[in-house]
Amino acid sequence: MRRTTILTVITLATTFLLHYATISFGQDRKRIDTFIKKNVITDIKILYSNDSVPHTLNLIFQGVLISNKNSQIIIPSDLFSEYFSSDELLISKSGRVILSNPTAVKNDTAIIFIKLKGNQNTSSTLKIPLNYKGTLLLDYSGQNGKRGENGEEGKNGKITGSTSSDPENGKNGKHGFAGEKGANLQIALTQNNSNTGQGPSLCNLIIHNISSSITDTFKIDILNSKAIIMSNGGSGGDGGLGGNGGHGANGDRNAMYTSYGQFGALGGRGGNGGFGGDGGQISIFIDSHLMDFINNIHVLNQGGPGGKGGKEGTMGTRGVNYSRGQEFPDVRTIRNMNKDMPNLNGLDGVPGNDGPETQIELVDSLK
C-alpha cells in the first residue's frame, strides 16, 4: 500500500501573487534563466503561508534568488519544482510540497533542507512550526493496476523474385492488471495530553492499517480542522493496444501480366482492462469526550473503476496491384478491410465493490 498523503489548501501572501499575476509562464522562465546566467546566486529564501499547517505540510512554496549584488528575482510556485529540490519533500508542478520524510518533524517543527538545482552550494534550511489546522487528507487507497503492454506490430509482407513471405498479424495487447483493494483501517481519535503548546483542542488521530500492520499517528486541531480518510480501491489498468497488422507487399510492377499485391494482415486483439479494486473496511473508535468532532471526519471507501479495454490493431494495407506496369485505379479503395472484420477491442474491466459501511463506536477515556 502506498503511504499516506496529506492535503491542505494554502493561501499565499497576496502581494507576491498580485505583483506577478500578469507575467506569463514562459516569460517567467526566460527572466529567471537570464538572471541565473548573469548573476552569482549566493542565497535563497522560501516564501509560504503558515496559517494552516497539518502534520506533513502540503504548503504552496515560492522562492527568491538573491545575487552577490543583492539583486533578487521571484521563482513563482508553478516553476518552483524546476529550480529547487529537497530530500525531505515531494514537490509538485504547482509548487505544492508534501513532507516525504516524517523524521524531519522534531518537537512539532518540520526542518526542511532545500537546494537550488545546479548549484548545490546554495541552499536554505526552513524550520516550519506545525499548528495542525486545516483539512487533513489521509490516503490509504489501493494502488492503481498497471497498464497492459501493447502488442507488437506484425512484419510486412515481402516479395523477392519468385519467393514471397506473407505479412504477419499484429500481436494481441496484454490485459491490464487489477487495482489493489483499499486498506482495512482501524481509526482511533483520542485526547492529547502532552505539553505541545498547541492548546487544549489538540488531539491524536491514530490509524492502524490492518492490511500492512503499520500504525500512523497524527495530531489534529479539533476546533479548526477536519479529516478526510480515503481507502478507495485502485483503478484497474487499461488493456494494451493490439499491434497493427503487417502491410502486404506490392505486386511486381514490371510483370508482363497482372501482378497482384498481398492483402494486409489482421491487427491484434486489444487487451482487457483490469478489474477495479474493492474499497477498504473502516472502523472508527472515538473518545466520548471528542464525539462532537465525529461530523468533521469524512470517510471514502469506494470501489475503483475498471480499466479501459485496449483498442484493436489496424489491418495492414494491401499491396499495390499492377497490370502491365500500371497501378489498378480501384485498388486503394480495398486496402483497409477493418469494417468487415469482427470487433477485436478489449473488454472494459469490472469496477470494484464499495467498502462496507463505516462502523463508529464511542469509547470512554480512550487512550
Say whether both 153 and 255 belong to one domain.
Answer: yes
Of the CA atoms within 13 Å of residue 157, those in its CB half-sphere come to 26
Q: Is residue 279 part of a domain?
A: yes
Say whether both 124 and 151 belong to one domain.
Answer: no
Q: Which of 179, 183, 139, 175 is nearest to 352 (CA)?
A: 179
Q: Is residue 112 part of a domain?
A: yes
**Containing domain of residue 33, as a range?**
14-131
Q: Is residue 267 part of a domain?
A: yes
Say whether both 278 and 311 belong to one domain.
Answer: yes
Q: Is residue 7 part of a domain?
A: no
Say whether both 198 and 331 belong to one domain.
Answer: yes
Q: Is residue 141 part of a domain?
A: yes
Say whether both 201 and 67 belong to one domain.
Answer: no
The domain boundary residue, chosen from 131, 158, 181: 131
Domain count, the chain: 2
Location of C-alpha cell 503511504: 3
- C-alpha 53/C-alpha 237 separation (Å) is 35
Say whether both 67 and 204 belong to one domain.
Answer: no
Say whether both 317 and 205 belong to one domain.
Answer: yes
pLDDT for 18: 34
Say whether both 171 and 235 belong to one domain.
Answer: yes
The domain boundary residue, chosen from 131, 157, 187: 131
What is the mean pLDDT of each successive set of 10 residues along the chain, which is 367 residues long?
35 36 65 91 86 74 91 92 90 85 84 87 87 83 96 91 87 97 95 61 90 87 87 97 93 72 90 97 92 90 97 90 71 49 89 95 74
Say whether both 212 and 163 belong to one domain.
Answer: yes
The domain boundary residue, chosen from 80, 109, 131: 131
Q: Is residue 2 part of a domain?
A: no
| Amino acid at position 188, single letter | A
Say whether both 114 and 219 belong to one domain.
Answer: no
Contact criterion met (CB below 8 Å) for 169 and 149: no
Hey, how many other C-beta atoms are within 10 angstroms of the C-beta on 360?
15
Location of C-alpha cell 529550480: 83
Q: Is residue 1 part of a domain?
A: no
Say whether both 153 and 45 belong to one domain.
Answer: no
Q: Is residue 81 part of a domain?
A: yes
pLDDT for 19: 41
pLDDT for 138: 86
Q: Which residues of 80-107 are buried (b: 16+ CB within 10 A; e: fewer)?
A: bbebbbbebbbbeeebbbbbbbeebbee
Say whether both 346 and 259 belong to one domain.
Answer: yes
